[in-house]
Amino acid sequence: MKKLSLDTKHKTYPIYIGENLLSDDKYILPHLKNNQVLVVSNETVAPLYLDSLKKSLKSIKPATIILKDGEEYKNITTVNVIYDKLIDVKFDRDCTLIALGGGVIGDITGFVASTYMRGVSFIQIPTTLLSQVDSSVGGKTGVNHPKGKNMIGSFWQPECVLSDTNTLKTLNKKQISAGLAEIIKVAIIKDKQFFEKLYNNMDSILSLKQDLIQDVIYQSCKIKADIVAIDETEQGIRALLNLGHTFGHAIETILGYGNILHGEAVGAGIKLAAVYSNKYGKLKDNKKDMIVKILQMAQIPMGMDKNIKVDDYMDVMAVDKKTKNGKINLILINDIADVYIAQDVDKQNLHSFLSQ
Amino acid sequence: MKKLSLDTKHKTYPIYIGENLLSDDKYILPHLKNNQVLVVSNETVAPLYLDSLKKSLKSIKPATIILKDGEEYKNITTVNVIYDKLIDVKFDRDCTLIALGGGVIGDITGFVASTYMRGVSFIQIPTTLLSQVDSSVGGKTGVNHPKGKNMIGSFWQPECVLSDTNTLKTLNKKQISAGLAEIIKVAIIKDKQFFEKLYNNMDSILSLKQDLIQDVIYQSCKIKADIVAIDETEQGIRALLNLGHTFGHAIETILGYGNILHGEAVGAGIKLAAVYSNKYGKLKDNKKDMIVKILQMAQIPMGMDKNIKVDDYMDVMAVDKKTKNGKINLILINDIADVYIAQDVDKQNLHSFLSQ
């Protein structure tokens, strides 16, 4: 088991990474304030892991909400269902919400926790590779609006994060690849050695070799945690973590939530950012090729965005959270471990780039 | 003009109190990050003050949302209407929401500001006496759930608060009295001299004598600000500000939002707390009488709760935010400027008290 500590201005909390953590009572119980626990999960994850989780809660019988599986349920309607449940079971300010599932479950549950009675505790148990390295680190919560991803949300840190690498074994290959997109992303942003490690060991990572995957998750979380510790609410450096996300969110919004995995969209977005950085910026051909290659090795599907109309792209990017005063900002790449915020990118360049 | 500075862990911001502040451009403009401004108001307040506010915004043409007037619109449906508007007009993270109205407008607008794109700026322009002394100080935001008041919300501090005492002149007497209930409350909690000042000058206060009312608002905000500065998120001492609120919220919930003003319910709640403290605690007869008397002098209607069934009271109090593990906590009074949190009050006493 590896343990990482995340320090933010508001809270310091542990991220545990390892096998069989879910069924071990020593991780969750110490973080509860009373016996009021609501587990939020979905129809895919609950049958696999809810019973183990319940066992680790010992005498506490949690309330449960089992949502349908999919990004399309990450909305205000679902948030209301959870509020209603919390009020029905008369949970008070000392209650704890546990998110058992992927990023969608974590984001919704965190948002409800941040707004029920002006804020209650929550614990993240991410069960996908993507959520173990991404949404469970950093305290971003949120739900989608029909016109934009994560438009409604908050910053709210959990009491602890439990990344049980056993849960990765039930994921399909698409989901592993989606997670790898985010891992590759943080390597490109911050760590050449880590990038090389990923580049040279992709097959073993894809086959979930335990020591290696735990190490990869740990390093990935560490890079993200270091950035978040400096800039919790994304006033500056944290924005670098949005590499691939402006393009990626646009692809997700246009193709429709649920038709593409978030990680797949981010992977496609990183490729676009690399090609754009090569064409209009300083990224050298060989580095651009390495980035495209590692995304391919990670089996991230590309080209799902080729039928998107340029005007649709431009429209959606104009309401992205990273857009300011109508100016589109992109995270671009000079080199591995050298990325930057390009403010107010030339819309004509962008338009002609997306046309190709 | 009087200026008060509120210091919280997250932010320091000014509260301006005085005449004709609304139409003066020097207060709002310095707090804006860009020209994206949404004014949220209601059908009662907007016709009176929206034009003046627009003038003070100079060349900025704000978007506006004019809600129907009333606590019954302080709900998630209204929140969604505001989200939709913000997204329609493509406002980004640097936008500012301005709440022009009473507590309902301030609470909803603050909640939307705290959750749109994970948090944007907002400015409070409270136009009722109650909101000038209460909801605009301290950063509590929220909306009601059909089963409980302010069950959904956040702590989110404004950029500044503009309390224009001119706006009090268009209030009816009921609204002035409702505001006085909160003013009397903070005096009972913290300040004997202030209590005496209110007791001895109630007629002049009711007639809104300008110097006096500005002073009363300032002192009232100051007491609350000092408490909030110590305990922003109500882990301890801030709970004292809930004097009269456990009873008061129950009365509001049972009688139905919109059928009674929040301040009136709090006034009735303070009286119940005083009588209870006299019967089961240490509050002396003469002090209890003074408290009842000052509430009467402030023309706060009493007895609207006399037809409420005891079981309804007990049920609603069981899901109040201040209730923990099913235990009901009340703020009780030993003496003027000496109040305390009574944890886990005897339910049998409470039941027989409410039966009388």
Q: CATH number, domain at B275?
A: 1.20.1090.10
The answer to whether residue B184 sits within a structural domain is: no
Q: Which of B74, B149, B185, B249 is catalytic?
A: B249
As given in the structure block, the two tokens for residue A324 are: 């300011």
> Which residue out of A10, A33, A89, A115 would a mutagenesis test of the B interface target, given it has the greatest number of B Cβ atoms within 10 Å?
A115
Shared domain check, A22 and A162: yes
Nearest chain B alpha carbon to A93: B321
Last residue of a domain, one of A170, A190, A207: A170
The answer to whether residue B93 sits within a structural domain is: yes
Shared domain check, A340 and A296: yes
B249 is catalytic: yes
Rounded Cα distance between A277 and B222, Å, is 54
The answer to whether residue A15 sits within a structural domain is: yes
From first to last of its 356 residues, what are the pLDDT tens digits of chain A?
999 999 888 789 999 999 999 989 899 999 999 999 999 999 999 999 999 999 999 999 999 999 999 888 999 999 999 999 999 999 999 999 999 999 999 999 999 999 999 999 999 999 999 999 988 888 999 999 988 889 999 999 999 999 999 999 999 999 999 999 999 999 999 999 999 999 999 999 999 999 999 999 999 999 999 998 888 888 888 999 999 998 998 898 888 867 888 889 999 999 999 999 999 999 999 999 999 999 999 999 887 777 888 888 888 887 777 677 778 889 999 999 999 999 888 889 999 998 88
Shared domain check, B156 and B28: yes
Q: Which of B71, B74, B140, B185 is catalytic?
A: B140
Shared domain check, B204 and B126: no
Enzyme catalytic residues of A: 118, 140, 182, 224, 234, 238, 242, 245, 249, 262
Contact A319 B87 (CB under 8 A): yes
pLDDT value, residue A257:
67
Rounded Cα distance between A62 and A310, Å, is 48
The answer to whether residue A327 sits within a structural domain is: yes
The answer to whether residue B207 sits within a structural domain is: yes
Rounded Cα distance between A270 and A276, Å, is 10
Contact A83 B152 (CB under 8 A): yes
CA angle A212, A215, A220 (to 5 degrees): 125
Last residue of a domain, one of B142, B170, B198: B170
Contact A148 B115 (CB under 8 A): no
Shared domain check, A231 and A106: no
Shared domain check, B345 and B216: yes
Contacts of B87 in chain A (CB under 8 A): 145, 147-148, 151, 319
Stated as kind and residue range, the H or E segment containing B252 is helix B245-255
Instruction: Report helix angle B192-200 to B173-190, nearest 10.
Output: 150
As given in the structure block, the two tokens for residue B259 are: 């059928």
How much is the ipTM here? 0.89
B224 is catalytic: yes
pLDDT value, residue B257:
67
Tell me the CB-side half-sphere exposure of residue A149, using CA atoms within 13 A.
Answer: 28
Which of B147, B154, B325 is closest, CB to CB, to A118?
Answer: B154
Contact B83 A152 (CB under 8 A): yes
The answer to whether residue A176 sits within a structural domain is: no
Question: B-side interface with A, Cβ within 8 Å?
Answer: 34, 36, 76, 80, 83-84, 87, 90, 92-94, 111, 114-119, 140-142, 145, 147-148, 150-155, 233-234, 318-319, 321, 323-326
- CA A139 from chain centre, in angstroms, equals 10
Shared domain check, A209 and A141: no
Shared domain check, B116 and B8: yes
B246 contacts: CB under 8 Å, gap ≥ 6: B269, B317, B320, B322, B328, B329, B330, B331
Shared domain check, A304 and A278: yes
Shared domain check, B125 and B212: no
Last residue of a domain, one of B104, B138, B170: B170
B33 CA to chain A: closest CA distance, Å?
A: 10
Closest by CA to B107, choosing from A154, A96, A97, A115, is A115
Shared domain check, B32 and B152: yes
Tell me the CB-side half-sphere exposure of residue A146, using CA atoms within 13 A.
Answer: 5
pLDDT value, residue A305:
77
The answer to whether residue B175 sits within a structural domain is: no
Which of B116, B155, B321 is closest, CB to CB, to A93?
Answer: B321
Contact B90 A118 (CB under 8 A): no
Contact B148 A87 (CB under 8 A): yes
Query: How many domains does the structure of chain A reveal?
Result: 2
B262 is catalytic: yes
Per DSSP, the three-state class of B66 is: strand
Instruction: Report helix angle B310-318 to B245-255, nearest 10.
Output: 110
**Residue B198: C-alpha distances to residues B191, B192, B227 (Å):** 11, 10, 20
Burial class (CB in 10 A: 0-12, 13-18, 19+), A193: exposed
Residue A150: φ, ψ to 5° = 50, 35
User: Could you tell me which residue, B68 or B252, shows the higher pLDDT?
Assistant: B68
- When the pLDDT of each residue in chain B is averaged and rounded to a whole number, the result is 93
Strand partners, B16: B3, B162
Shared domain check, A331 and A299: yes
pLDDT value, residue B135:
84
Which of B76, B152, B319 is closest, CB to CB, to A116?
Answer: B152
Residues A70-89 as b or e (16 or more Cβ within 10 Å = b): ebebbbbebbbebbebbbee
Which runs of consecutive H residues, i.e. helices, occur in chain A? 25-28, 46-56, 76-88, 103-115, 129-133, 173-190, 192-200, 202-206, 210-230, 245-255, 262-280, 285-297, 310-318, 347-355
Burial class (CB in 10 A: 0-12, 13-18, 19+), B59: exposed
pLDDT per residue over B104-151, tens digit each?
A: 999 999 999 999 999 999 999 999 999 999 888 889 999 999 888 899
Q: CATH number, domain at B59?
A: 3.40.50.1970
Rounded Cα distance between A181 and A265, Å, is 9
DSSP state of B90: T
Range(s) of the domain holding residue B202: 189-355
The answer to whether residue B176 sits within a structural domain is: no
Rounded Cα distance between A348 and B33, Å, is 27
Contact B118 A319 (CB under 8 A): no
Contact B90 A318 (CB under 8 A): yes
pTM: 0.90
Rounded Cα distance between B27 and B202, Å, is 31
